[in-house]
Structure 1
Amino acid sequence: MNILPLPQTVPATSRPQVLSGELLKLLTPVEGLISVGQTAQAEVLSLKQADQTFQMLLKVTLDSGRQTTVQTTSNQPLAQGTTLLVTQPSAGNLAVTVQQAIAASVATLTRLDIAQLPVGTLLQGKVLTSQVLPQVPGQPMVFRSMVSLLNTALSGSTLSIDSPQPLRIGTLLSAQVQDAQTVKFVPLSSRQEQLAVTRQLVDQQSRQGSLDGLLKLLQNLPPSDQTSVELRSAAARLLAGLPDVQQLSTLKGLAQALVSSGVFLESKLLTGQNPTLAPDMKGDLLKLVAQLTQGLPTNTSFGAIIAANTLAQAMPNFVRNALGMLGQVSAKPSPTAFPLPERLLQSAEGENDLEHLLRLAAAAVSRLQSHQLSSLEQTGVTADGRLMSTWQLEIPMRNMQDIVPLQVKFQREDAPEKEQPKERREEREPKQQLWRVELAFAMEPLGPLQIQAQLIKGSLSSQLWAERPYTASLIESNLSGLRDRLLSAGLNVGDLDCHLGTPPQGPQTRLDQRWVDENA
């Protein structure tokens, strides 16, 4: 649905007051509901448009304290939650005066608080009403709609919008905040995939489990009647593909580990590559799952668990249902925090070893898919037109006898293209790219570590966090040596700092933040 950017709405202070003395018609006439000369307080419980009139359910509170609900119709809409003072001139009508002091806090919003909803904030809502305003000679036609907000701190509030095009009642809309009185609609078709990804990401993260729990069990997998030759072969292939610290310290070894991390499995399949020719973490996990499933009794329910954890089977469903999920998605917090927390699954009561191993393997697949979906959710165009690409993955690496999960996130930020004269397009400078890298791992005796670095125009800046005081002090004492090695690699080195604790997690995602403003 293509909707043009909205014109500025008229400030509430300049709008003529409506419904002052307006007659609301009772659908069912009630004699003596309100005594002559008396007033009663009424609250709008619901609003529904029928052609050019509006049906409202009112809760009327009489002076005696008795409450009743009545159905009314009106030529003008009132937002849900609006408080009114009503009188009854006749059995079939109510006369209304809007209590401005009360209505100001609950009635329709006519402007946005930029401090509460910064520019670029995505609003999601449902159209409640739509009516054409009296046309001014020489001016285009304007349609006024009331939209119920489904997300942000204003969820449940009603926003009054003026648009050059009519909005169909019941439509789910997405719009970006431009300023206090302007929003720009985003066609829902372009948001459908992201909404589906967000929903699936929430589901996957509720099922995911840490990789090291599974891998440690596979290292000590004993021969038994339950473990077939094929199962032990699948486990051996998975373990053989794990890189060690020495391999990850070389450029070629690191590149191979990234390709084999499982994050590119679907991409390999789409391009016709055979994933069995080289190790692939996700592919090897799925083969292990297949072997474990074959070894289970026929009456087990674990086949359903695996089906629920397989993205290929979930994908068509969540894409088809994306439109209906809009309100559900927006009500949940964003699950894209980095790194993914450790989550160990304990053996359930009455569960045999093979069933527990299968549950761990399914949780490991979900963890890899959580990284893939996080990459998709954090990839797109930012509010100021920059293209952000994200690759998030996890590499279990060998460190002597231990297996250390290394979580990695790469982000590339491309500056928006600037229009240039046609004769100068061949001489245009290459796009300026900003790269960010985040690492998270826990290696004994250092404990948990997180590293954030950014690279632009050959200049590198980095922040390190250690949760153990000894580790933070050790890193601090070696920063000068690290700086020298980076300089010898041909980089310009900016800030290099080490902190005790963990990186701050603000209310905004990393897509909206820069560690260093290169233009400052």
Structure 2
Amino acid sequence: MTEINSLSTQTAVSAQATRAAMSGELLRLLQAQPGLLPPGEVAEAEVVTLRQIGQEFQMLLRLTQANGNQIQVLTTASQPLPPGSLITVTQPESSRLAVMVQQASAGNIATLTQLDTRQLPVGTLLQAKVLTSQVLPQSPGSAVTFRSLVSLLNSSQAGATLAIDSPRRLPVGSLLSALVQGEQALRFVPLSGRQDQLAVTQHLSTQQSLQASLPGVLNSLQQITSSPDAAPELRASAERLLASLPEARQLGDAKNLAQALNNSGTFFESKLLGGLASGIAPDLKAQLVKLVAQALPSVPGHPPLATALATGTLAQALPGLARSALGMLGQVSPRPLPSAFPLPSRLLQKLESEGDLQQLLRLAAAAISRLQSHSLSSLQQSGTLDNGNQQTTWQTEVPVRHGQEFIPLQVKLQREETPEQQADREREQDDPLKALWRIELAFDLSPLGPLQVQAQLAQGRLSGQLWAQQEQTARLIDSQLGALRERLVARGLDVGDLECHPGTPPQGPRTRLEQRWVDENA
């Protein structure tokens, strides 16, 4: 798939692209066919396919002779005729056809000269394949303009041909996306990163097959801290990791919550890329990878890695160590739906043939993979939406200490901005409350059971819904919503609807940033 970079903000649909009749245009037959049409006889032909080769256009015609017989012929011309075009031709020479009339009927319009915004409302995302691209004659001093014919791949107009003018040449055979701005205008959506999105989806499926819940490795680390047989360095690392986890009561403070999210592992790679290797010590993913690095030398077949750790090359070593650890997992489970939130609980079964150290490695690698699944889900759900707004997603998981237990708190934050709001933010003139914010929480707190929260902040107004799988918990929360509203209002928030439901949130159609990857007509 050829990438189409961002073109002009507006690209007009050419109203003259197909109004000019091709009367007198000569179509060259790729293979001479004497007697195809008797002298003076006319025939109707339909353009079946169109293909651009250099500056020439190759077309396959379905020719209907006077006796009703149909024959297909290959022709070339200097001007394209869109698929579906109906023409009347004669044969002045054995190797040529002359176009007498280019026809159009209400039921078979060769090319769209404007968009019907009743069928394609403003904001509709169109996806198309470029059939042709040619430079238009220009007057001295005027800008170069290219005219292209594109075949629509989606919407109610799928299969139709659209003529567009743009300031840049569109590579023939490439795929493009554009938002409808009006009857005569489109705005191209850059394809930058769409192949990356596909790669993210593929990696996400793999990671979700390898991941396991965080309490498994945390409980194992608790055992190591009290085991006299554990290696001193490993025991010290386990103690530091457990001590870095926040307690439930600490998350009531905004600064502590921000710190917990920052150390959850979601920003681990960006810290490394930013040269902040010395400041990643409390990061959960960094600590898990370091545990793997310390445990691997004791496993047969793995070379010592103490040298890399001792010489300060942790930033370079960690990504490779993570890949090595993840490669140790051989268990594959049914793959959850990409972007599913929350991630389901999954525990690895302890194998009898494994020692405690091998089990720790499997649990740590599975926990790293789970954190990686959240990061990939964030990437998958970030980008330009169908309406042109920019969506950014941060999805992560924070293990919270609750007494002697560890409660995984899954968090998903989303910010949606219009192009104008995004431009204001880049100029540092934005008001964060102008953007649309969404937050989702999921956790299982005894004795309340599994809980999920969905809240939305739009123009400073907060609304939210809660779901509790246990009915008695749903009734308890519902009875406390009034008190929650009062506390939120006391914090200066404009509070809208607050509701609690038993069960789980409905899993309806999810937003997808890319709806079509394959051109079925290719």
* TMscore range, shorter length: 0.5 to 0.7
Give the aligned residue type for 2:183. A
| Deviation (angstroms), 1:99 | 6.9
Counterpart of 2:48 in structure 1 is 44
- Summarize the alignment of residues 49-128 of structure 1 with structure 2, pairs less than 5 Å apart: 49-51=53-55, 53-58=56-61, 70-80=73-83, 82=84, 89=91, 91-94=94-97, 100=104, 104=108, 107-112=110-115, 114=117, 119-121=122-124, 123=126, 125=128, 127-128=130-131
Q: Is the 8 A contact 1:243 1:397 kept in 2?
A: yes
Distance 1:469 1:38, change over 3 A: farther
Is residue 290 of structure 2 the alignment partner of residue 287 of structure 1?
Answer: yes
Which deviates further from its counterpart, 226-235 or 404-413? 226-235
Is residue 183 of structure 2 the alignment partner of residue 183 of structure 1?
Answer: no
| Deviation (angstroms), 1:163 | 2.5
| Deviation (angstroms), 1:477 | 2.0
**Corresponding residue SS for 1:130:** strand
State which of 404, 410, 413 in structure 1 corresponds to 2:413.
Answer: 410
Give the aligned residue type for 2:497. D
State which of 266, 270, 277 in structure 1 corresponds to 2:269.
Answer: 266
Q: Is the 8 A contact 1:212 1:405 kept in 2?
A: no
| Deviation (angstroms), 1:54 | 0.7
- Where do 5+ consecutive residues of structure 2 fail to align? 304-318, 325-336, 514-522
Counterpart of 1:480 in structure 2 is 482
| Deviation (angstroms), 1:149 | 5.2
Counterpart of 2:328 in structure 1 is none
Q: Is the 8 A contact 1:178 1:184 kept in 2?
A: yes
Which deviates further from its counterpart, 478-487 or 117-126? 117-126
Q: Deviations over 1:104-153 (max 9, x none)?
A: 37x54444455665544555555432234466999876432123557778
Q: Deviations over 1:182-230 (max 9, x none)?
A: 11245x5xx53x4355234213311223865354155247889x99776
- Summarize the alignment of residues 286-435 of structure 1 with structure 2, pairs less than 5 Å apart: 286-291=289-294, 294=297, 298=301, 337=339, 339-342=341-344, 344=346, 361-362=364-365, 364-375=367-378, 390-400=393-403, 402-412=405-415, 416=420, 432-434=433-435, 435=437
Counterpart of 1:219 in structure 2 is 219
Q: Deviations over 1:153-177 (max 9, x none)?
A: 8777643202245445466655443
Give the aligned residue type for 1:48. Q
1: CA distance between counterparts of 2:64 and 2:346?
55
Counterpart of 1:440 in structure 2 is 442
2: CA distance between counterparts of 1:372 and 1:198?
13
Give the aligned residue type for 1:284. Q
TM-score by length of 2: 0.68
Identity level (%): 44
**Corresponding residue SS for 1:451:** strand
1: CA distance between counterparts of 2:97 and 2:179?
39
| Deviation (angstroms), 1:471 | 3.5
Distance 1:6 1:453, change over 3 A: closer
Q: Is the 8 A contact 1:449 1:464 kept in 2?
A: yes
Q: Is the 8 A contact 1:396 1:406 kept in 2?
A: yes
Counterpart of 1:425 in structure 2 is none
Counterpart of 1:328 in structure 2 is none
2: CA distance between counterparts of 1:158 and 1:211?
46
Which deviates further from its counterpart, 92-101 or 62-71? 62-71
Pairwise CA RMSD: 5.2
Distance 1:219 1:508, change over 3 A: closer
2: CA distance between counterparts of 1:144 and 1:268?
46
**Corresponding residue SS for 2:213:** helix
Give the aligned residue type for 2:186. V
| Deviation (angstroms), 1:370 | 4.2
2: CA distance between counterparts of 1:67 and 1:343?
64
**Corresponding residue SS for 2:486:** helix
1: CA distance between counterparts of 2:297 and 2:97?
71
2: CA distance between counterparts of 1:506 and 1:378?
14
Q: Is the 8 A contact 1:197 1:377 kept in 2?
A: no
Give the aligned residue type for 2:258. A
Q: Deviations over 1:459-491 (max 9, x none)?
A: 533222334544433322221122233234444
Distance 1:429 1:406, change over 3 A: closer
TM-score by length of 1: 0.68
Is residue 30 of structure 2 the alignment partner of residue 27 of structure 1?
Answer: yes
Distance 1:470 1:509, change over 3 A: farther
Give the aligned residue type for 2:486. D
Q: Deviations over 1:484-506 (max 9, x none)?
A: 33234444433212234415645
Give the aligned residue type for 1:199. L
Distance 1:169 1:412, change over 3 A: closer
Distance 1:283 1:72, change over 3 A: same
Give the aligned residue type for 1:216. G
2: CA distance between counterparts of 1:48 and 1:11?
21
1: CA distance between counterparts of 2:470 and 2:149?
54
Distance 1:39 1:256, change over 3 A: same
Distance 1:7 1:32, change over 3 A: same
Distance 1:213 1:366, change over 3 A: closer
Which deviates further from its counterpart, 379-388 or 282-291? 379-388
Q: Is the 8 A contact 1:47 1:54 kept in 2?
A: yes
**Corresponding residue SS for 1:30:** coil
Counterpart of 2:313 in structure 1 is none
Counterpart of 1:201 in structure 2 is 200
**How many residues align structurally?**
467
Q: Is the 8 A contact 2:45 2:61 kept in 1?
A: no
Counterpart of 1:463 in structure 2 is 465
Counterpart of 1:245 in structure 2 is 248
Distance 1:228 1:93, change over 3 A: farther
2: CA distance between counterparts of 1:155 and 1:236?
60
1: CA distance between counterparts of 2:346 and 2:508?
23
1: CA distance between counterparts of 2:234 and 2:73?
68
**Corresponding residue SS for 2:260:** helix
- Where do 5+ consecutive residues of structure 1 fail to align? 301-305, 312-334, 421-427, 511-520
